Each structure stands twice: as structure tokens, then as C-alpha cells.
Amino acid sequence: MNGDEFYQFLRNLYNFEGQHIQRNRYFIRWLQKPDGTFSFQFGSGANIKAIPRAWLVEAKNAMNNDIVINAHWFNNHFQQNNNNDCRAQTAIWLLNNHN
């Protein structure tokens, strides 16, 4: 499936608050952004983060082109400076576990 299909797949799969994602992370909701897209919002206790739609779509498309998706890819592709970003770690988990 391509990036847009993967994003829609996740939208259909994760649809109620509290769904377990991995380790101690749980889905919260699809957070609407000002541009009309929705980010995958998740949390671990009081720590709440959101993965932008573009991260999921572009990472899946890159993965389909045999590009290795890791924290460095997210940092380079989206101009991030944090290799320990739990958003990238969770996006990677979603990509690898919902292929």
C-alpha cells in the first residue's frame, strides 16, 4: 500500500482512545490541524505527542522504495534534531507492524 493508503488504514484501525500501540504508549485521537489534516495523537502517561500526516505518508512511500526508515531519516527528511523523538520511534513502529 502507498503512503495515503497506509494513512487511511491507520485512520480506520485506530479509532478509540486508549488503544494500545506499543510498550506504554496509547492512541488518543486524530488531532485536526489548521491545514485540515489529522495527526496521530498518542500518549504515555501525561506525555502527549502527535505524528503529522506527512510523516506517515512520506515515510511509507520511502519505505516502499526500499529506503530504510529510522530516526535519522526523520531528522534529515523533516529537519528534526532529536534522535530520541518518540514521534519518530512510534511512527517507525507503526510502519513496521502494520505493513
Helix, strand or coil, per DSSP, at residue 93: helix
* C-alpha 47 chain-centroid distance: 16
Helix, strand or coil, per DSSP, at residue 44: strand
DSSP 28: E
- Please list the pLDDT of the chain residue by residue as tens digits (99 residues): 999 999 999 999 999 999 999 889 999 999 999 999 999 999 988 899 999 999 999 999 999 999 999 988 988 888 766 666 789 999 999 999 997
Handedness of CA 58, 59, 64, 67 (dihedral sign): positive
Helix, strand or coil, per DSSP, at residue 22: strand
Task: Give the global pTM.
Answer: 0.91
